[in-house]
Amino acid sequence: MTRSPRRAPARPPLPPDSLGYALLQASRLVAEVLDGGNLTDAFEMMRDAHTTTWSDATRGAVRDLAWTTLRDYGRGDAVLRHLLRTPPPALIHALLLVALLRLEQRPEQAYVTVDQAVEAAASVMPGFRGMVNGVLRNALRQPDALAAWRDADEQARYRHPAWWIAKVRSAHPEQWETVLAAGNSHPPMSLRLNARRDAAEAEARLRDAGLNTRRLRNGALLLEQPVAVARLPGHAAGDLSVQDAGAQWATLLLDPQPGERVLDACAAPGGKSAHLLERADIELLALDIDPRRAARVRANLDRLGLDAGIRVADCRDLSAWWDGRPFDRILADVPCSASGVARRHPDIKWLRRSEDIAAFAAQQREILDALWQTLAPGGTMLYATCSVFDEENRLQTGQFLTRHSDAERAPVDGCPEFQLLPDSAHDGFYYALLRKRK
C-alpha cells in the first residue's frame, strides 16, 4: 500500500495586530503599485475588506509602511539590485522593500523586523522564508555598503526617477534639491474654516481638543501635527474642511463676487467648489468627467450645507453641457502630472513616465481652448495645476496667450504667475489668472 506524502500543517494566520501582518499587507499594496495599480484605490479596497478586523493602529501601520516604502522606493530598489541574485516573486520583492525601509527607520528593532518579515513570507510563500531571512541579515551586516550603493545612484539619493529629477532641476535650478526633498517628506495637514460659520468658535474648539494650529497668509490653518479627520471637532457639522493650504489660494485668487456665474470645470472631489460657495453667493456649475468623482462633489457640498449645479461631462465637449450663457469666472483646475503633490501619492513618482507630461500638456491645451469660449468678455479664468513642471505651467500659459489675442495676464499676488513649491506648510501648485479683453 502506497502512502500519500504528508502535507505540512497549515500555518495559523498572522495576528492582525502583529508587525508581520502589517509588513505583509503593506507589501501587497506595494506589489500592486509596482504592477501598475493605484495606491489609494488599493488601500481603500483593502481597508474596506478588513473593516471588522483592523484596529486604528493596524490601519495606520499598513498605510505608513506602504506610503513610506514608495516614497523611498529608489533607495530600496538600489539596495536590492546588489543583494538579490535571482528576482523573487513580486510579493516577496515588495516584502523585502518594506522590510528594508523599516530596518532603516527602526534600527533598534532590527532583529524583530527580520523575524516578522520571515514570518510574513512563511505565511504566504514558505519556500522563500530562507531568502527573506538571508537578504535582510546580509543587509544588516554591511551598512556601509548599503550607504555607498544609495549614494552612488541618483534615483536612490533623491528618491525620484531620473527623468523627474532632470525636469525639476531644469524648471527650478536654484531650488530643485529642496523641491525633491519636500516630495519625500510626510505631507502637512491644513484646515479651511467655513466662511459662513463662526470661525473664532471653530478655532476655539480645536484648541480645546488639544489641536494646535498656525494661521497662514491665505487664512488656512496649519495643524502642528496631522490627525485623523474623526478627531476634528466640527468637521462632520461642516464648520471646517481638510484642504491643503496651497489649494486654498484658488478661491482667493479667482475672487468670485456675489451674483456671478462661475464654472468649476474639473471639480472633483469638490474642495474648491465648496470654498467658492463659502466665500460668495454665486451661481456655480461644477463639472467632472467621472460619475463616481462627481458624487464626491455632491457629498462634500451636502456636508457643508451648500448647493451647486453638478454635471457629469467632459468639459472640452461644450455641446454636452454648456447652455450658451457665458461665465463671469472659470476655475480651470486641470488634470496634470500631480508632481506637486507626489508625497501624498508616492505611487505617482514611479508610475508616471516622461512622455506622460506631453500628453497632459496636450489635454490641458484642449481644456483651456474650449473653456475660453464660455468666458464672458471682461471675465477671468484661473488656470491651476498641482504640478512643478514647466510644460504644464509657465510654458502652457505662455503658449495660450500666443494663441488667443483677446487674452491677457492679470497679476497674481503681485506677480505675472504664482508657482508654489512644496514645503512644510503646503503642497506644490501653479496659478495663472487669464482675463478676456472686452
* Distance, CA of 348 to CA of 259 (rounded, Å): 39
Q: Is 315 a catalytic residue?
A: no
DSSP letters, 9-72, are PPPPPPPTTSHHHHHHHHHHHHHHHHTT--HHHHHHHHHHHTTTT--HHHHHHHHHHHHHHHHT
262 exposed, middle or buried (CB, 10 Å; 0-12, 13-18, 19+)?
Answer: buried
Q: Which residue out of 266, 315, 336, 386 is catalytically annotated?
A: 386
φ/ψ (deg, to 5) at 285:
-110, 125
DSSP letters, 295-311, are HHHHHHHHHHT---EEE
Interacting residues of 257 by C-beta distance below 8 A, sequence separation 6+: 280, 282, 328
* Distance, CA of 262 to CA of 265 (rounded, Å): 9
- Look at residue 390 and give its three-state secondary structure: helix
CB under 8 Å, gap of 24 or more: what pairs does 352-361 form? 352/161, 352/164, 353/163, 354/163, 354/167, 357/167, 357/389, 357/391, 357/392, 358/391, 360/335, 360/336, 360/387, 360/391, 360/392, 361/391, 361/392, 361/395, 361/396
Contact between 54 and 47 (Cβ < 8 Å): yes
Handedness of CA 17, 19, 22, 28 (dihedral sign): negative
* Distance, CA of 390 to CA of 50 (rounded, Å): 42
Question: Helices 110-124 and 129-141 sit at what angle, rounded to 10 degrees?
Answer: 160
Contact between 262 and 331 (Cβ < 8 Å): yes
**Cβ density class 194-227: b for 16+ within 10 Å, e for less:** beebeeeebbebbeeeebebeebebebbbbeeee
List residues with catalytic annotation.
386
